[in-house]
Structure 1
Amino acid sequence: MSAHPSPARHPASGPSGPQDVSAEPFGARLRRAMDERGPLCVGIDPHASLLAEWGLNDDVAGLERFSRTVVEAVADRVAVLKPQSAFFERFGSRGIAVLETSVQEARAAGALVVMDAKRGDIGSTMAGYAEAFLHPDAPLFSDALTVSPYLGYGSLSPAIALARESGAGVFVLALTSNPEGAEVQHAVRADGRTVGATMLAHLAAENAGQSPLGSFGAVVGATLGDLSAYDLDINGPLLAPGIGAQGATPAELPALFGAAVRNVVPHISRSVLRHGPEVGALRAAAERFADAIRAGVAGA
């Protein structure tokens, strides 16, 4: 493969100027945020049906109103916000501008931002994706990025290397909750391990020796049922979609994740967002879930 120059790096231009990333690794910052604010990740998912439920038009103005409201409501009190990049990208450059502002304002309010972009490619292209989201000078710099390893785990090397350098993190799709994922993630390799288990093993190796928590996490669906066949103790965070509207409950987390439950970051989107556009209602919904998750983890 021929070499290509790295993408240009531009300083973030949010209200606080360039975003400075702490030298402290993402895993350490996440552990502290979860301990102080509770282990909850709220999505920013402005898809058309939610905009309509809020009485907003499916346009850039509606997108901006939605995103600003979610950030105002919960960014100063939840550990993690997770914007879904696709719902911003569909509006082109103006949507991306809204995403940039949302990321910067959420981080300024103290939330960690996990960019849900699920990027996955090889070589210089993967390096370009990493530069877009994990370089501290990038307008879309986020505390962590979701990535897909299904061009081979080694294809993620540019993102992992840049995350280490910048103090950011990645979440690797390992055992996702969508039914279609099983045909790849549950496939059995020649060594007898499933592909999903192999991803978890790679992440455990990345996080070896890190304290209090490694920066390289896995996406593991909370609706998958029995996960006892998988070693979830990767010394890193487990981003767990499926709580709320998809059917899983906070009380089920200890049974599902076992000894790794303290490192679980439950992701909730619609079950919180449907309470908008009232800021107070959004806050109350997020706090109810945070309290329920704390209670479930404490009882583990």
Structure 2
Amino acid sequence: MYDRLLELADKSVSIDDNFAMVSGSINLFEQECPIHTDRNYIGFCLSGSGNVEINLKTITISKNDLFFIARHSIVFNKESSDDFRYVFFSISPEYMKDLLNDLRKYPPVFLANQNKPTLSLKDEEMEQLMTIFNLMWKHMEEEQNEHQRDIVKHLLCSILINIHRLADRNKNILESISRKEEMVRKFFNLVFENFKEAKDVSFYADKLCVSPKYLSSLVKKVVGQPAKECIDYCVILESKLMLRSSCTIQEISQELNFPNQSFFGKYFKKHTGMSPINYRKSYLK
């Protein structure tokens, strides 16, 4: 079913910097250290399996799995089987925004669920999506013309609408994006861009023209955690990533804009139960 895509291992096609299609294998997926993602990724596992760490949480991607990695995630490939093969889309924030504007009737809410960023598909469901993927690839390989961009975009929209349908049937979690959910999305975008400098809910509430109390209750209603906990989560996640590097604790506290190293140490211990030094030691064991 996937012979042509398997033959394309470790190849990619793109129209511009906003959108690319990649057919990968274990070799392409190997990493020496975690990376920050600056765009969104939607992928499909064709064979084998791989254990991937997304925001310090390990998930297993297996054959026929759809997976999504959101922008601003921290990703690290831990281990993969020798026959691990996959294809994925690489989508810039600008292009994703453009797509979502065209898909208001079919909001891909599943793609925002990073607590479980995979969805298992049946053989026939996977075959249907890969048929469209294959067609998109062929159009991407053609010489650029006035119709190419629109054709590719509409085929991609077709895949996203199908993802909406499959997630709705399998998980029953999809619903229309309300104005409140849109505000929460904007909140997280602001947090990802500003958490190093701004760690108080009031900063983000001001940006969104609401009160801190309203924002915190709204975020908790939508994602299950208050706004402050979401901010702290991003700070701690970044702290842990930097503690896995060669940066000194002083450098980390400065990078994250803490008043001093002592203040950073107390903050980190409050949220993790251990000091930065002990966390680093536990990681190096």
Fold-level similarity (TM above 0.5): no
- With a CA cutoff of 8 Å and minimum separation of 6, indicate the structure with the bigger relative contact order: 1
Give the TM-score of the pair, scaled to structure 2.
Answer: 0.31
Give the TM-score of the pair, scaled to structure 1.
Answer: 0.29
Name the structure with the higher strand share: 2
Please tell me whether Structure 1 or Structure 2 has the larger radius of gyration of its CA atoms: 2
